Structure 1
Amino acid sequence: MDLYLIDAISPFFIGNARRKTNWSKIPFDHIRPDKPEADELWASIEAGMEVFAEKVADVGYNAVSLDDVAHLAQSDHYEIEIQDQIHLYQKRYRPIIDILQKRGLKIYVTMDVLSYTSALLKNVGTSTRSVTAFIKELLTDFFKTFPEVKGVIMRIGESDGLDVHNEFRSQLILKRAKQVNRLLKETLPVFEEQDRELIFRTWTVGAYGIGDLMWHRSRFIKIFQDIDSPAITISMKYGESDFFRYLPLNSHFFRLNLPTIVELQARREYEGSGEFPSFIGEDYSQYAQELRKAPRLRGISVWCQTGGWTPFCRLTYIEKEGIWNEINAAVALQVFRDQVSPEAALRNFAQSHNIPNIDDFVNLMQKSEMVVKRLLYIPDIAKQKFFFRRVRIPPLLSVYWNNIFINHSLKKILMHLTKNPKACVRDGYAALEEIELMHAHAEKCKLPVDDIEFMYDTFSILAIAREYYYQTFDRSIRNRLKAAKKSYKNKYPKSLRPRYRIKMNFDPFPIKRRTLGWVSYVALRRQRGYRIIDRLLILHFLSTVYWVIRKRKPNIIPKFARKSAMGIDTVFR
């Protein structure tokens, strides 16, 4: 392996104080170079990048990713004011690139297909032919402007979130495998001529015909059919969904004889985003062992800051509070590059960071992994495989980003899917007891004890919620949950610390269990491939029904599902 890539976006979030933040891309509206305070802001970014570059290079990473081509490459198709903005961004990025180069870090820049302005949409449109021609022009200009950049990381299966208000906003343009294949064949010569690399991401969110690229064998093969270029590397998340636990290794890594890298996440966006330890050593060690049989694995891509829409705002490698993410990033690198055990990697980290009582440190991190897998997740549910339309259902149902859902509809769903409800309640409280032991380990290691306490208080609510999910309804459980929520909010006011949102609703869910079972049997499948009913009903007819209902009753979908990220509408495209 030769590529050990890590995202370098955390310095760009310095001073970006928001209640909830979109961590999927650099906050360009925050760092606009024409702001009155731009000089001071960019000086802070440069200082932060100095710290970041030194630390990740010392850990052993040899490459970084930055956002994004749209803000750094010129085109006559843009508005004049946009061209002026791009010119300023180019100037501001020069010192950033110099800092990274001095540390021996290769630089890759992300790109969506395609990021539009109003003028660009009007001048270029959305046809595959015109979009491909524009991208070729844009890349040519970009490579000439930034000869220091090693390559581009291209994303075609997800666009900017609904909360992005910027000069540029990306849209999903490519809908079929044939279109993606054509784009690759026509743009790869640009990379070859300029001696650059294209890192092509297979990540998709379920939209359109290519929405199943993450797991669909035929779609994957068609997209890379007849692709034979020294300039391309395929980048894939380790599983068939997002960065969750309990996912088997994606078998796409073994399908083609093209170079690949595996995407990993150190700042676990669905597991607290670094507000408490959520160790990933054992999971990643298992993936690393399996990937030793992959035909052409050339490295890893670790996300230490990217991902999620949460108020959790710790900056990895910039602030001391980012320690839990840094542990994961260091261990992931050692497990894949050096083929050491997670425990050995932890001991190496403790020694290099002068952490006392190394045995306690190892126990602390190992317990954190166990607790997350047993209490944040519900193993009985997480181990099951379900698909809906083109996406694999996440194994984490009751918690999403910083939201904990406790309601009667979820209670019915979990009861329907769970094989041993009593064991789920018992195992939840057993895991909670382990956090108390983690507290003692953290004290001995002089690590943030407050984070362990926050973890305990949050997971206590999850443990009580299991009683609600899996026991006959009892008013006392409801009262305990309400009291726990009130205590939690009082202990962690938003002004002092970001916290989870506890979304409770005990109103009866009108659908009977028998009906729920029938609906789940029809709508969900346990196999990857599509059933006849999926092709006839779920993929097309259900989509039409959804959009008719959505138009007539726009508020029928909860605000969380409508407004977060790209919104649930994406799944029905």
Structure 2
Amino acid sequence: MISRIKTLAFITLSLLIAYLMALQINSFLGISFKEKELPKVPKYESLIDEKTDTVQSGSLNLRLIDMGGVGIVPDSADWGHSYKHNVSRFDDVILGKAPFVDSINFARVEKEFEIYVDSMQRFDYNGIVFRGFLEFVLFDKVSSGTDIYPETSLYRARHKKLRQTFNKLFKKAQEKGLKVYLYTDMVALTPMLKNYFLKRFGKIDVLKKEFWEVYQFALEELFEEMDVDGLVIRIGEAGAIYNKANWDYSSELYVRTDESVRLMLTSFLETVEKYNKTLIFRTWSIGIGQIGDMHTNPKTYERVLKNIQSENFVVSTKYCKGDFDSYLPLNPTLEQGAHRKIAELQARREFEAFNSIPVYVAPLYQVAIQNFSAKNPNFEGVWLWAQDGGPLRSGPLSIYPFHGFNIFTDANVYAISRLLKTPSANIVNITNDWVAETFGQDSVLIDSLTKFLLKSQNVTKKGLYIKEFAQWDVRALGLEPPPMLWIFKWNIVGGGSAVMSNIYYVSKNNVDAAINEGFEAVAEAKKLKQLVESVQGRVSKNKGGFEKMLSSIDFQINLFTSLAHYRNYFLSYYQWLDTGSSKAKNNWQLALKEFKREYAIHMSKHNGNLDFPAYNFREANVGIQVADRTNITIWLSRIMLILLVLSILLGIPVLQKSNTNFPLKSLFLNIWQSLFKPWSADNIPQQKNDTFYSFIWLNGMVIGSLAIFSSGIAPVFIIVMQTSLLLYLASLFLLNMKQIAQKSISLLSVLAPILVILSLLIAITAYRGPMFFWSSFWTNPRFLIGFLTLFISIILYAYYVLYEKLRKLFNKTRLQSIAQILIIQGIQFLALGTASFVASLEKSLTVINDELVVLPGGLSRILGITTHLGIPKSIPENLIIIGISLTIIGIVLSLLKQKKTIKAS
């Protein structure tokens, strides 16, 4: 009776603990949304009514441009496969060994630079941003001058040569009226510099003034030895995706707190002010650490930066409240603050197919520039990215203005340059002028192509965004997802349950409108193509570019058709998961057939096309595999559920008392006792080979259930889980070898609570398939709380069952039982930590997520899952430490008990 009361008390306490934990998890994962205040961009009809410019306004003082495509080699063989963010500029110019610079290739770069600078001078840009910093520094002013790079160091010789060579470009830019700003991530490192820091400070200590003094000395060198006018610093993106292969210059994310940002900036400003140069600080903190929303939250911005005051200090941030997506409010931090401000604009829109489809954002950017100018007297200009942003080699081979299809990028660069000189200029007149310069002076041609450009962005928004989701300010999974969430990011069409279920949840009241929008985009793109084709005979200049523009529209129609059917499929599919509607089921099954047909056409036309490359549907296709297998997984789930339930019910004592023998009889009774009488000391007789058959049955139940739950497409996930199970059982058997002969099945039955968890999962998938579980998990708070409460409490009960089995059946003391549990759990942690350390935590999470399609796969292709979700990268090491500690504690407790037993005897 006491044991029964104790068990009930434990179950009650477990449920309470599990419920409280479930509430906390739900508060983190819960989804909420509110309406956004989006910029009001005039439609074509209202723009065309303005025949003349409005009141003239003064030009903006800072008109910066990136390096465009200067120094980027069009290596077509390697294009289209990498999501690395390093553009590999000057790859064929800078050599690892002496003479360090390839003079022939540098001569080509010099010509490119002259052409580009001449164009940008003609467009009235007055500053150019050049990525580079450590490559030009010797650290001669640090201590003896050779503490970081000795006299014989390869770095010293290389940097001298690079400084001498690239300063030629900087001088040419200044001669053309463009100031030169070097650009670096912080913390920027080379192996020798990192070793110096570790030797001197013991770590990368961004909270030490002396740490930043090293970079101050570096900056002094640059200002004294090179023709540069300032430095641009970024802290929010760094790490492996920005590092270049076989090039040991890297950056790491160490600056994550208010204090470290302020110390970094005040240190750099001391040097910048001394030389009367300019420090431009990018507030692109993107959710990293304490300062995560500094780039969009005025309160955080003020908290971090309000005490930084200098005329030599400029704050640069993206014009919108987020990344370069559409459907975003203007950035409120650009509307206030005492610092000089510039807005970052992107001419080659990375999330809108890198301009391989019609993308003309001048009207949007005009609204932004006018808004910031009107609201903030400290707003001084723009930094336009003609080439930069996103993984260059994952998209089209477009290197502005030298290689590939750059028509829409050029239109944006031209129009924005005009707006920077006259923010109130008439955008129709500006567009007319670009068309005339590019394709000819025919008035019908000019009017038609201007209409095409001014209408193009709205069509692109319809095809690439789901308005019913994008128009809302959404909070989900503890994050603020981007408006184009179903394509996350660039060309990666999503299939992850966390993404698709949340998009459906936000859009569910207007699913038909969300679906129809995709087909409207296709229809409108076809109309614009007809408009452009109607003036083809009037083109007098750049006829090749015009032909490419028509191909771009064809690509847009083809891509949008595939995306429209995919949108129809996944919204209908999640509608069916939500409602069970037979209409929704018919819709998603029909839409899926249509998508597969259009997807095949899309791949046949554009896979490997360097100008108009196919989108990446890998993740989407994994999600489709799950949907395709929905019916079979439902029926397999029902069969498996019967087997799981029978594994429990066949242990009912009434059945066991009968004289009828049936296979696995002793196993089923042990399972029943483990679940409902874990305190029982009854040793149930077992027959020859029972242990083997019992193990096969239990392992089959576990692996079979996991295979069904993962739709049979996650081999690595299943191998990991099976390995964990085998390790658990092996540890348990080895620790009880002396008593195992007649009690092996009793020991196997400690898996009984796991069968209950599997029954719970399989019962859910038996209803509408595995994605019904995930859809409910992400969007239904009651389901989430209920499931987690049961799941966590059963896990806790599993430990209780193991403890009671060891105590009563194997005659272990309380201390011995606890010791064994600690050892077993320690071994599990140690194995998991070691595996994730060897493979790397990021890679481990990526592989599992790619199989289960839970989170958007794009997370792994940007900063990584760990960085985006704030998962500590030290988890593998911590698991190893915890595992070793638990194992040692368990062994010590066991030895203590043995000592007491020996003394007593």
TM-score of the pair, normalised by structure 2 = 0.57
For 1:84 and 1:16, locate their aligned partners in 2 and report how far apart those are by CA, in whole Å: 29
Partner in structure 1 of residue 601 of structure 2: 487
The match for 2:94 among 32, 39, 43 is 32
Q: 1:410 to 1:185 in 2, by over 3 A?
A: closer
- Verify: 1:63 aligned to 2:136, yes or no: no
The match for 2:493 among 385, 404, 424 is 404
Shift of 1:123: 0.6
Q: Structure 1 residues 269-278 or 348-357, which shifts more?
A: 348-357
Q: Give secondary structure in 2 for the equivalent of 1:501.
A: coil
The match for 2:378 among 282, 290, 296 is 296
Give the total of aligned pairs.
549
Partner in structure 2 of residue 137 of structure 1: 217
Partner in structure 2 of residue 423 of structure 1: 513
Could you tell me which amino acid in structure 2 is paired with residue 293 of structure 1?
K
Contact 1:241–1:393 (8 Å) recurs in 2 = no
Partner in structure 1 of residue 69 of structure 2: 10
Shift of 1:414: 2.2
Residue by residue over 1:148-184, the C-alpha shift from the partner in whole angstroms, topping out at 9 and shown as x without a partner, is: 2111111111114436232211001212111111222
Partner in structure 2 of residue 537 of structure 1: none
For 2:357 and 2:284, locate their aligned partners in 1 and report how far apart those are by CA, in whole Å: 27
Partner in structure 1 of residue 800 of structure 2: none
Q: Give secondary structure in 1 for the equivalent of 2:430.
A: helix
Q: Give secondary structure in 2 for the equivalent of 1:321.
A: coil
For 1:239 and 1:260, locate their aligned partners in 2 and report how far apart those are by CA, in whole Å: 14
Q: Percent identity?
A: 21
- Verify: 1:127 aligned to 2:389, yes or no: no
For 1:263 and 1:119, locate their aligned partners in 2 and report how far apart those are by CA, in whole Å: 34
Partner in structure 1 of residue 410 of structure 2: 326
Structure 2: segments with no counterpart, 5+ residues: 1-59, 140-145, 199-203, 573-583, 628-770, 786-831, 852-856, 871-905
Shift of 1:254: 2.9
Residue by residue over 1:74-112, the C-alpha shift from the partner in whole angstroms, topping out at 9 and shown as x without a partner, is: 224247122222223223313322332232211111011
Shift of 1:256: 1.2
Could you tell me which amino acid in structure 1 is paired with residue 163 of structure 2?
Q
For 2:783 and 2:290, locate their aligned partners in 1 and report how far apart those are by CA, in whole Å: 23
Partner in structure 1 of residue 164 of structure 2: 91
Q: 1:423 to 1:510 in 2, by over 3 A?
A: closer
Aligned pairs for 1:215-364 (under 5 A) are 215-291=296-372, 292-309=374-391, 310-319=394-403, 321-338=405-422, 339-355=424-440, 356=442, 357-364=445-452
Aligned pairs for 1:443-522 (under 5 A) are 443=533, 444=535, 446=543, 447=546, 448-471=549-572, 472-473=584-585, 474-494=588-608, 497=611, 498-503=613-618, 504=621, 505-506=623-624, 507-508=626-627, 509-511=771-773, 513-518=775-780
For 1:161 and 1:566, locate their aligned partners in 2 and report how far apart those are by CA, in whole Å: 8
Could you tell me which amino acid in structure 2 is paired with residue 38 of structure 1?
D
Partner in structure 2 of residue 377 of structure 1: 465
Could you tell me which amino acid in structure 2 is paired with residue 426 of structure 1?
N
Shift of 1:293: 1.6
- Verify: 1:113 aligned to 2:186, yes or no: yes
Contact 1:347–1:362 (8 Å) recurs in 2 = yes
Q: 1:226 to 1:495 in 2, by over 3 A?
A: closer
Could you tell me which amino acid in structure 2 is paired with residue 99 of structure 1?
K
Shift of 1:311: 3.2
Partner in structure 1 of residue 745 of structure 2: none
For 2:777 and 2:324, locate their aligned partners in 1 and report how far apart those are by CA, in whole Å: 32
Q: 1:558 to 1:74 in 2, by over 3 A?
A: farther
Residue by residue over 1:110-134, the C-alpha shift from the partner in whole angstroms, topping out at 9 and shown as x without a partner, is: 0111111121111124112243111
Shift of 1:232: 0.2
The structure with more radius of gyration: 2
Q: 1:326 to 1:160 in 2, by over 3 A?
A: farther
The match for 1:195 among 276, 283, 291 is 276
For 1:171 and 1:313, locate their aligned partners in 2 and report how far apart those are by CA, in whole Å: 29
Partner in structure 1 of residue 849 of structure 2: 557
Contact 1:241–1:392 (8 Å) recurs in 2 = no
Q: Give secondary structure in 2 for the equivalent of 1:158.
A: coil
Q: 1:203 to 1:308 in 2, by over 3 A?
A: same
Q: 1:205 to 1:434 in 2, by over 3 A?
A: same
Q: Give secondary structure in 2 for the equivalent of 1:10.
A: coil
Partner in structure 2 of residue 47 of structure 1: 111
Residue by residue over 1:184-212, the C-alpha shift from the partner in whole angstroms, topping out at 9 and shown as x without a partner, is: 22221210111100011100222211222
Shift of 1:402: 1.9
Contact 2:346–2:386 (8 Å) recurs in 1 = yes
Residue by residue over 1:335-366, the C-alpha shift from the partner in whole angstroms, topping out at 9 and shown as x without a partner, is: 34312233222112123334441111112112
Shift of 1:408: 6.2
Shift of 1:481: 1.4
Q: 1:390 to 1:171 in 2, by over 3 A?
A: farther
Structure 1: segments with no counterpart, 5+ residues: 524-546
Q: 1:127 to 1:410 in 2, by over 3 A?
A: closer
Shift of 1:276: 1.9
For 2:869 and 2:189, locate their aligned partners in 1 and report how far apart those are by CA, in whole Å: 23
Could you tell me which amino acid in structure 2 is paired with residue 263 of structure 1?
E
For 2:784 and 2:494, locate their aligned partners in 1 and report how far apart those are by CA, in whole Å: 24
The match for 2:228 among 145, 149, 152 is 149
Q: Give secondary structure in 2 for the equivalent of 1:301.
A: strand
Shift of 1:66: 0.7
Shift of 1:145: 1.5
Contact 1:78–1:117 (8 Å) recurs in 2 = no
For 1:512 and 1:98, locate their aligned partners in 2 and report how far apart those are by CA, in whole Å: 59
Q: Structure 1 residues 185-194 or 328-337, which shifts more?
A: 328-337
For 1:462 and 1:495, locate their aligned partners in 2 and report how far apart those are by CA, in whole Å: 18
For 2:102 and 2:288, locate their aligned partners in 1 and report how far apart those are by CA, in whole Å: 37
Aligned pairs for 1:525-564 (under 5 A) are 554=845, 555-558=847-850, 560-561=857-858, 563-564=860-861
Q: 1:512 to 1:275 in 2, by over 3 A?
A: closer
Contact 1:23–1:306 (8 Å) recurs in 2 = no
Could you tell me which amino acid in structure 2 is paired with residue 570 of structure 1?
T
For 2:783 and 2:127, locate their aligned partners in 1 and report how far apart those are by CA, in whole Å: 46
Q: 1:289 to 1:44 in 2, by over 3 A?
A: same
Q: Structure 1 residues 21-30 or 326-335, which shifts more?
A: 21-30
Q: 1:219 to 1:390 in 2, by over 3 A?
A: farther
Q: Give secondary structure in 2 for the equivalent of 1:273.
A: helix
Residue by residue over 1:47-69, the C-alpha shift from the partner in whole angstroms, topping out at 9 and shown as x without a partner, is: 21121111111122111111111
- Verify: 1:170 aligned to 2:232, yes or no: no
For 2:439 and 2:784, locate their aligned partners in 1 and report how far apart those are by CA, in whole Å: 56
Greater fraction helix = 2
Aligned pairs for 1:382-401 (under 5 A) are 382-387=470-475, 392-399=480-487, 400-401=489-490
For 2:784 and 2:333, locate their aligned partners in 1 and report how far apart those are by CA, in whole Å: 27
Q: 1:520 to 1:466 in 2, by over 3 A?
A: farther
Could you tell me which amino acid in structure 1 is paired with residue 164 of structure 2?
K
Partner in structure 2 of residue 526 of structure 1: none
